[in-house]
Amino acid sequence: MIDVDADVRRLINSAVDAELGPRRPAPPLAGGAPARRESRAALWRMPVLAASVMALLATGGVALVSSHHAGSPTSATHSAAIQTRPVTPHYPDGANVDGVTVGPLTAKERELEKGLITWGAVPQSMRPGRSYQVTVRVAVTMPSEPSKVLSTSAADVSEFRCPQPFLVHPGLAYEVSCTVHVLAGAIGKLTTTLSTPGVAGGWSYGTFLPRAGAS
């Protein structure tokens, strides 16, 4: 018989330790108070809003440019960016994929040494039989790194529709819109993976969906 109490205690503690890494000292106190850091929610609310506005403006720009340059597949802004980058075969560029919005990095993102993945807009509760739209934003900040392939996948869901794998380039942010149907009683998981073309393996970040209630 499994000693659930002891096993869960051991496993959850070792999982937390693995996730956090070695023990770190507390950040320095500033004048007796913890240095107030801008919360992640606040950090992201405005940039994402700004990115959405930029995307809307860019979309409007594309429409205007297209009306004057029939047959032009991309906006002037995007085509200029793409022309300067080598395109790896087999994967479309994110700028040309439906369901993907490409925009500039926010000021906060540009300051980051590492890239950032944000799963957002996941509903608090989900019901089987209904479809939900979820988004993931990927800020590719590292100028020294080559272009990567971004792909998404899902586990323990009944249906998942998301754009095909596509190329992402440093210095840009990508917002991907996906649709998911959940399974009754299951906890679905969505995963974003970044890999280098032609190289096995990669980096992934997943987020769990709320447990789907009975239909």
Minimum distance from CB of 109 to other proteins (Å)?
A: 11
What's the token pair of residue 168?
Answer: 């992402």
* 71 vs 59: CA distance, rounded Å: 16
Question: Which listed residue (114, 143, 144, 214) binds other proteins by CB under 8 A?
Answer: 114
Give Cα separations from 24 to 27, 28, 38, 70, 125 (angstroms): 9, 12, 20, 58, 35
What 3-state class would DSSP assign to 74? coil
**Total residues in contact with other proteins, by rule CB under 8 A:** 61
* Interacting positions 194-213 with other proteins (CB under 8 A): 194-196, 199-208, 210-211
Give whichever of 25 and 143 is closer to other proteins, judged by the CB atom.
Answer: 25
Question: Which listed residue (75, 101, 106, 118) binds other proteins by CB under 8 A?
Answer: 118
Tell me: does residue 5 bind other proteins (CB under 8 A).
Answer: yes
Residue 205 CB partners (closer than 8 Å, separation 6+): 117, 119, 191, 192
Residue range at the interface with other proteins (CB under 8 A); choices 76-84, 86-94, 112-120, 163-171: 112-120
**Strands 157-161 and 172-182, how do they pair?**
antiparallel
Contact indicator for 94, 165 with CB cutoff of 8 Å: no
Tell me: does residue 184 bind other proteins (CB under 8 A).
Answer: no
* 11 vs 133: CA distance, rounded Å: 33
* Interacting positions 58-77 with other proteins (CB under 8 A): none
Question: Which listed residue (50, 55, 116, 183) binds other proteins by CB under 8 A?
Answer: 116
Tell me: does residue 187 bind other proteins (CB under 8 A).
Answer: yes
Question: Which listed residue (30, 39, 68, 214) binds other proteins by CB under 8 A?
Answer: 39
Residue 128: count other Cβ atoms within 10 Å of its Cβ. Answer: 16
What's the token pair of residue 210?
Answer: 């709320």
Contact indicator for 168, 95 with CB cutoff of 8 Å: no
Question: Which listed residue (11, 64, 87, 184) binds other proteins by CB under 8 A?
Answer: 11
Applying CB under 8 A, the residues found at the interface with other proteins are 2, 4-5, 7-9, 11-21, 23-27, 29, 32-34, 36-37, 39-41, 44, 112, 114-120, 122-124, 142, 187, 193-196, 199-208, 210-211
